[in-house]
Amino acid sequence: MKAVLVLENGSVFEGVSLGAEGTTVGEVVFNTAMSGYQEIITDPSYKGQIVTMTYPEIGNYGLNTNDKESDKPYIEGFIVKEASKITSNFRSQASLDDYLKEHSIVGIESVDTRKLTKQIRVQGSLIGAISTESNIDTLRKLVSDFEIVGKDFVKYVSTKKMYTFKNGIFRLGFENRKTKKIVDNKRVVVIDFGVKRSIMKYLIEVGFNVIVVNAYSTYDFIKSLEPNVVFLSNGPGDPRGVDERWMGEYRKIIETYPTFGICFGHQIILRAFGVKIYKMKFGHHGGNHPVVDLQTEKVFVTAQNHNYAADEKDSLEKGFKITYKNLNDGSVEGVKHKGLPIMSVQYHPEASPGPHDAEYLFEQFSNMVLEN
């Protein structure tokens, strides 16, 4: 079946239907990872976005229940050059096409993803629509009506009920690595803006008792849980879209407890202190972004997924020091507060998918319990 992709700049890409039939609209971004498509599809941070994979063949090792980052996919659509018809992996339980159909995700293949990526790099992230049934004029209307900047997408992905997370990292039999014993006096409350399961698995890995709460939780509620530390998770969309009244609650929380934030959580921490957050041209999405530790000058290859970043000058003026920078564009990749036990990073140290260069940060967070 034929499918079509229409962009806000007027471009039209014809292709073949992948996944469910129908119509979808969202912000089109590109991801440079060569694998890990299941983690990308199920990452709540992609709510509101249509993901283009730059690697030409996607789906060759299938999908399974262990590697998903949430209960269901949150992407609005999926674009690939070629979806593999063969899945070859002893853990595979479904093909890419079947998985997308099962979860009603509209996709398109046989698209010139190199041309599409170049347009996004030159013009910035673009609103687009994929359809197997609507005409071009209808899709252009959908595209013109869609908004993501300044909107709160957290409400669509954050947990409705508090829960305790207990699942560890999947390991092959030959891996000689043990998870630390979980102890009650290492209780971390995860404020869920759209948390990836792999992040919580790494928190389990370093011995935390993990309690997950809704993103719109008050200081008094967090206090009643008696945490030792607090974690602010990744999440979708524009951090400026979260209502200003919550910034006061978050600031009281992170001024009271040792705090670690990743990606969206990093931006919320800084925003709570009044730091300016800005929209990047096309963001960072993929598993090959170089980041430098400004203290050691060591370079890490990192996984990233964000369209927004913190202003460096404003961060310094509001009491933070810059700990990491992106070597491609110089954007802020990490901070520590000058007077409080607060640290955060823009990239994803848990990877999934991507390199594991920076997973040591979870151990640093664990040490905050002892140090504070």
* Per-residue pLDDT tens over the stretch 292-319: 999 999 999 999 999 999 999 999 999 9
Q: What's the rounded mean pLDDT across residues 322-335?
A: 98
Are 150 and 240 in contact, with CB atoms under 8 Å apart?
A: yes
> What's residue 167's pLDDT?
85
280 and 206 housed in the same domain = yes
49 and 186 housed in the same domain = no
Structure tokens at 240: 């400026």
> What's residue 173's pLDDT?
66
The label of the residue with tokens 């790099």 reads 121
114 and 255 housed in the same domain = no
> What's residue 61's pLDDT?
96
Domain boundary among 83, 112, 145: 145
252 and 366 housed in the same domain = yes
Tell whether the model's pLDDT for residue 113 goes beyond 80: yes
Tell whether the model's pLDDT for residue 128 goes beyond 80: yes
Average pLDDT, whole number, for the chain? 94
Q: What's the rounded mean pLDDT across residues 98-104?
A: 97
Phi-psi region of 218 (alpha: psi -120 to 50; beta: other; left: phi over 0): beta
210 and 245 housed in the same domain = yes
326 bridge partner residues: 291
Q: Report, in angstroms and rounded to the nearest whole number, the Rg of the chain calculated over CA atoms.
A: 20
Please give the share of the chain, as a percent, with pLDDT higher than 70: 97
Q: What's the rounded mean pLDDT across residues 323-336?
A: 97
At 143, the amino acid letter reads: V
Domain boundary among 98, 117, 145: 145
Burial (0-12, 13-18, 19+ Cβ within 10 Å), 336: middle
Phi-psi region of 124 (alpha: psi -120 to 50; beta: other; left: phi over 0): left
- CA–CA dist 71, 225 (Å, integer): 25
> What's residue 132's pLDDT?
97
Task: Give the residue numbers annotated as catalytic, written as ranges.
Answer: 263, 348, 350
Tell whether the model's pLDDT for residue 24 goes beyond 90: yes
Tell whether the model's pLDDT for residue 178 goes beyond 90: no
> In angstroms, what CA-CA distances link 246 with 28, 255, 290, 354?
29, 14, 33, 32
At 275, the pLDDT band (50, 70, 90 cuts) reads very high
Structure tokens at 178: 């043990």
Phi, psi of 324 (to 5 degrees): -140, 145
159 and 141 housed in the same domain = no
286 and 261 housed in the same domain = yes
Q: Domain holding 167: CATH number?
A: 3.40.50.880
190 and 215 housed in the same domain = yes
pLDDT tens digit string along 129-175?
Answer: 999 998 999 999 999 999 999 999 999 999 999 999 998 877 766 66
Q: Domain holding 92: CATH number?
A: 3.50.30.20
Phi, psi of 229 (to 5 degrees): -145, 165
pLDDT tens digit string along 64-88?
Answer: 998 999 999 999 999 999 999 999 9
78 and 190 housed in the same domain = no
> What's residue 370's pLDDT?
77
How many structural domains are present in the chain?
A: 2
215 and 75 housed in the same domain = no
Domain containing 91 equals 2-145
Please give the share of the chain, as a percent, with pLDDT higher than 90: 88
Domain boundary among 145, 173, 202: 145
61 and 178 housed in the same domain = no
Structure tokens at 116: 């599409």
352 vs 40, higher pLDDT:
40
At 368, the pLDDT band (50, 70, 90 cuts) reads confident
pLDDT tens digit string along 179-191?
Answer: 666 656 799 999 9
Are 28 and 52 in contact, with CB atoms under 8 Å apart?
A: yes
235 and 128 housed in the same domain = no
Angle between helices 245-256 and 264-272 (to 10 degrees): 100
Residue 214, SS3? strand
At 177, the pLDDT band (50, 70, 90 cuts) reads low
> What's residue 74's pLDDT?
94
